[in-house]
Amino acid sequence: MKTTGKQLIRIGHSPDPDDAFMFYALAKKKIDICGFEVEHVIEDIESLNQRALQGELEVTAVSCHAYAYLADPYIVMRSGASVGDGYGPILVCKGDAPRSPGHDLKNKKIAIPGKLTTAFLVLQLFEKNFAPVFVPFDKILDAVKNGEVDYGLIIHEGQITYEKHGLNKAVDLGVWWHEKTKLPLPLGIDIIRRDLGKETIRDFARLFKTSIQYALTHRREALAYALQYGRGISEDLNDRFVGMYVNDFTLELGIKGEEGFQRLMDEAYQCCMIPRKVLLEFI
Residues labelled as active-site residues: 156
Decide: 165 and 95 in contact? Cβ < 8 Å: no
Decide: 141 and 154 in contact? Cβ < 8 Å: yes
CB neighbourhood size of 133 (10 A): 17
3-state secondary structure of 230: coil
Please tell me the number of Cα atoms within 13 Å of 219 on its side-chain side.
10
From its phi and psi, is residue 227 left (phi > 0), alpha (psi between -120 and 50) or beta?
alpha
- Burial tier of 15 (Cβ tally within 10 Å: 0-12, 13-18, 19+): middle
Exposure pattern of 74-106 as b/e (b: 16+ CB <10 Å)? bbbbbbbbbbbbebbbbbbbbeebbeebeebbe
Question: Which amino acid type is present at position 88?
Answer: G
